[in-house]
Structure 1
Amino acid sequence: MAVINSINIETFRGISNLKLDNLAEINILTGDNNSGKTSILEILQSLEEPDSFKIWRTLLRRGTFINRGLSYYEGFYDLFNINDEKKIIKYNVQSEEKNIKVVITADKSEEEVRIKPETEFFKESYSQLFEDGQMEFDRVEILSKLDLKLYINENKKDEMVLYENQIQISNENQELDNELKRNIVYISPIRHAEGGLFLNNVLDNPDLYEEMLDILKEYDDGIISINYDSKNERGMNRGVYKILSRSSQKALPLNVYGDGMKKAILLMSAVIKAKNGILLLDEFETAIHTSAMDKTFRWILQTCKKLNVQVFLTSHSKEAIDKILKCAPEMRKDMAVYTLSKVNEKSVARRLSGDKAIEVQDHMGLELR
């Protein structure tokens, strides 16, 4: 695993001149709202394919934003600091093997564009207006335009032009640098509710599968197995994962279980998926009941160590941070807690080792958050 040693974010969203040095194997990010925790995870996720705008499309904080009437133009524009006249993203990541400096620029202008119903970029945005007769079928509009360029270590790697109301991006065949790619797995606070899991990775690892089942007894003490049912009983185009438990007469689809079970399976399967890579867990404690935290978190940390996974977690919860710090005492030497804050419009971080964080919290009565 190529461990990331430091991150220097000069400007990204609301972050300005933030440095995280001496990163550990397990890094806990905490702090007030809007202090930059999720933004740091986004920077790290971009390292999956840092030389392409393709990865940045997945980082737009809109979920299904296109379906809500918001365009790629708006999504990308929000990546830049709203207060800066010159739109630029700049960050530097130092790992054991290389130093990667990323710069993204955006030049905003206006351009006359001919809008037609069949124009792919705008078809969905304007289709209802065309149908209702509120817009002519062939017209010229003056649209805002973003000219984006992406540089790695001062070499231009990608570029893209976006117009306001653009909801599609062509799938260009860009040649990427395989040496820059990393295995990075990001889990959002609501991912478990969306149904995305990595169970195929689990089922390919029998020993870890058995360990997982033991942990999941915290959520269903009668659990026997998790299997993929390829039968199309509900008319869907794909099968479903089912849990066989002594508490029911037949295997039940995972989606009938509570959020705690779903989140635990998601987190544990993500650990296995992230083997020899980086795992990013945003508000990692969401949906996990406090009674199951110790055993679940211990397995996650110990398995990350076993599989060479560097971990970055964010949390607001004092209790969840305390559980992470204390669930596996032998791993405190591999932990660091970063408390983020803003001072005079600058982003700052206080770093504490795992042992020091416990001392500060338990014996000095100070807040880590």
Structure 2
Amino acid sequence: MLDSLHIKNFRCFEDLTIPSLGRVNLIVGKNNSGKTTLLEAVSVFANGKDLSDGSELAQGDWAKVIDKLQSILTNRNEIFGQDEDHSDFGVFIKSKNNEKDQKILFETKSQEEKLEIAVKQDTQKNIYLSIASKQGEENLLLNKKGNIHRYWEDSEHIENLINKKNIKRNNEHYDDLSFTPDQIKQLQESFVFATRGYEILNKKVRFIPSTSAGENIAELWDAIYEENKDGEIYSVLKLIIPNISSIYFLEKSKDVGRIGYLKEIEDLKAKPIRSMGEGISRLIQIFLHAFLSRGGCLLLDEFENGLHYSIQEEVWEKLFKLAKELDIQVFATTHSEDTVKAFSKVALRSPEEGQIIYLARHMREQDPDKGKISAIVYNENDLEMILQTGMEVR
């Protein structure tokens, strides 16, 4: 679990220090203050700070960092495919063009955990992306435009990885994995060693976007069902539907995929989950990811989306409880004053577990740091004041 955070040269963060972090952290601030970017930074850091050294799947570890950088670009529509003057990595660097230091730094205040991502050039003018943690360093050749080259785009490298023995999935071991060139090609886009189950059950850093649209909830549900955790999901959904009796997924067509249905005790027929409002889908999404992030990190963008203010305190209560039981560190963003108040109430009942992080830009003309983003951490005394005075921290 991260106890503090220092970010340098990452997107809008020139040099951001958060001196302390809780188990559950709520990030607030005005638009364009870097709330979602902070989630992205934590996601990259958490994926890369435990890079293996010399293990069979070491390259799979650092590939998670590349995968996360690539997904950030994709989600923000920032892929540069044609313009020779741009590069993927240039989007992430927050430094002036004439600066030689093209390095992103993530570290804890004690520097016990550290991740550096930099662009390097050799004597032959080949451009490399360097990813380094305390466990080691990996240099990855970028393509001619300086764009990030995901290692699974390399068929030979994919073939070497998926033919390694003892790749684990759902407590089973596949000892004789072999794939045809066509099968290897199909695997390149999805970055799955052997089956989707491996990725779902072993992904400990989970990023939940601001909506549930497009999320493959069925696969997450399957993973939870196999671990007999579905009963706990039902207990959460009863906040909205007290008479819920069952959830199941049916495949109507290959194009649409599996559709989720929810049945109540008094109803003879189940209803599509999507037809019951955003709140139901949002709760299912949040808690499926939470149960699957045991021992890892849960990142939640715009917590309040789809959730009525009247149930938010109970949702936070369950998240705080789950975070402690499963050793999860939670980071969430919000624009909602109701969410801040609900969070503060629960955090005050959970000493040293929750805190609010306020991000703001320096705006005064005479300020030498004008435009720079800084963080203010609200402790338990501050949270008490927020509840008593209605102080706005947005």
Quickly say closer, same or farther: Cα 1:84–1:303, change in 2 above 3 A.
same
Question: In the alignment, residue 357 of structure 2 is paired with which amino acid?
Answer: Y
Residue 26 (structure 1) aligns with: 24
Question: Would the aligned equivalents of 2:89 and 2:146 in 1 still touch at CA under 8 Å?
Answer: no
Residue 164 (structure 2) aligns with: none
Q: Deviations over 1:302-333 (max 9, x none)?
A: 11111111111111211111111214643143
Q: Deviations over 1:75-96 (max 9, x none)?
A: 4332122744447242232399
Alignment of 1:173-184 (within 5 A): 173=157, 183-184=204-205
Q: Deviations over 1:132-189 (max 9, x none)?
A: xxxxxxxxxxxxx97533333595413232455979856243899xxxx982111110
Q: SS of 2:93's equivalent?
A: coil
Question: Would the aligned equivalents of 2:273 and 2:281 in 1 still touch at CA under 8 Å?
Answer: yes
Q: SS of 1:186's equivalent?
A: strand
Compute the RMSD of aligned alpha carbons: 3.5
Q: 1:94 aligns with which of 87, 102, 108?
A: 108
Q: Find the aligned partners of 1:90 and 1:279 in 2 and give their Cα distance.
A: 22
Quickly say closer, same or farther: Cα 1:363–1:325, change in 2 above 3 A.
closer
Shift of 1:71: 8.5
Instruction: Give unpaired runs (5+ residues) of structure 2.
Output: 50-61, 162-201, 363-368
Residue 383 (structure 2) aligns with: 358
Matched, 1:204 2:229: no
Q: 1:306 aligns with which of 312, 325, 328?
A: 325
Question: Would the aligned equivalents of 1:65 and 1:71 in 2 still touch at CA under 8 Å?
Answer: no
Quickly say closer, same or farther: Cα 1:71–1:205, change in 2 above 3 A.
farther
Question: Would the aligned equivalents of 1:71 and 1:166 in 2 still touch at CA under 8 Å?
Answer: no
Question: Would the aligned equivalents of 1:49 and 1:182 in 2 still touch at CA under 8 Å?
Answer: no
Q: Find the aligned partners of 2:117 and 2:81 in 1 and give their Cα distance.
A: 29
Quickly say closer, same or farther: Cα 1:264–1:284, change in 2 above 3 A.
same
Question: Would the aligned equivalents of 1:60 and 1:76 in 2 still touch at CA under 8 Å?
Answer: no
Shift of 1:45: 1.0
Shift of 1:357: 2.9
Q: Deviations over 1:32-88 (max 9, x none)?
A: 22222222211211122453323321222535766x988896543321227444472
Q: Find the aligned partners of 2:296 and 2:392 in 1 and give their Cα distance.
A: 31
Q: Find the aligned partners of 2:345 and 2:147 in 1 and give their Cα distance.
A: 48
Quickly say closer, same or farther: Cα 1:70–1:239, change in 2 above 3 A.
farther
Quickly say closer, same or farther: Cα 1:233–1:156, change in 2 above 3 A.
closer
Q: Find the aligned partners of 2:146 and 2:108 in 1 and give their Cα distance.
A: 37
Q: 1:59 aligns with which of 44, 62, 72?
A: 72
Q: SS of 2:350's equivalent?
A: helix
Alignment of 1:128-139 (within 5 A): none
Q: SS of 1:211's equivalent?
A: helix
Residue 374 (structure 2) aligns with: 348
TM-score by length of 2: 0.70
Quickly say closer, same or farther: Cα 1:246–1:89, change in 2 above 3 A.
farther
Question: Would the aligned equivalents of 1:185 and 1:280 in 2 still touch at CA under 8 Å?
Answer: yes
Question: Would the aligned equivalents of 2:356 and 2:378 in 1 still touch at CA under 8 Å?
Answer: yes
Q: Find the aligned partners of 1:97 and 1:253 in 2 and give their Cα distance.
A: 49
Residue 48 (structure 1) aligns with: 47
Q: SS of 2:115's equivalent?
A: strand
Question: Would the aligned equivalents of 2:67 and 2:150 in 1 still touch at CA under 8 Å?
Answer: no
Alignment of 1:157-176 (within 5 A): 157-163=138-144, 171=152, 172=154, 173=157
Shift of 1:8: 0.8
Shift of 1:235: 4.4
Q: Find the aligned partners of 2:346 and 2:83 in 1 and give their Cα distance.
A: 43
Alignment of 1:124-163 (within 5 A): 148-153=129-134, 156-163=137-144
Q: Find the aligned partners of 1:288 and 1:38 in 2 and give their Cα distance.
A: 19
Shift of 1:102: 1.2
Q: Which has the higher strand share?
A: 1
Q: Deviations over 1:267-301 (max 9, x none)?
A: 11111011111111111111111122122221122
Quickly say closer, same or farther: Cα 1:228–1:64, change in 2 above 3 A.
farther
Question: Would the aligned equivalents of 2:345 and 2:387 in 1 still touch at CA under 8 Å?
Answer: no
Shift of 1:219: 2.6
Quickly say closer, same or farther: Cα 1:202–1:324, change in 2 above 3 A.
farther
Question: Would the aligned equivalents of 1:263 and 1:287 in 2 still touch at CA under 8 Å?
Answer: yes
Residue 352 (structure 2) aligns with: 333
Q: SS of 2:283's equivalent?
A: helix
Alignment of 1:104-143 (within 5 A): 104-105=118-119
Question: In the alignment, residue 239 of structure 2 is paired with which amino acid?
Answer: E
Q: 1:288 aligns with which of 307, 313, 333?
A: 307
Instruction: Give unpaired runs (5+ residues) of structure 1.
Output: 112-144
TM-score by length of 1: 0.75
Q: 1:194 aligns with which of 214, 217, 240?
A: 214
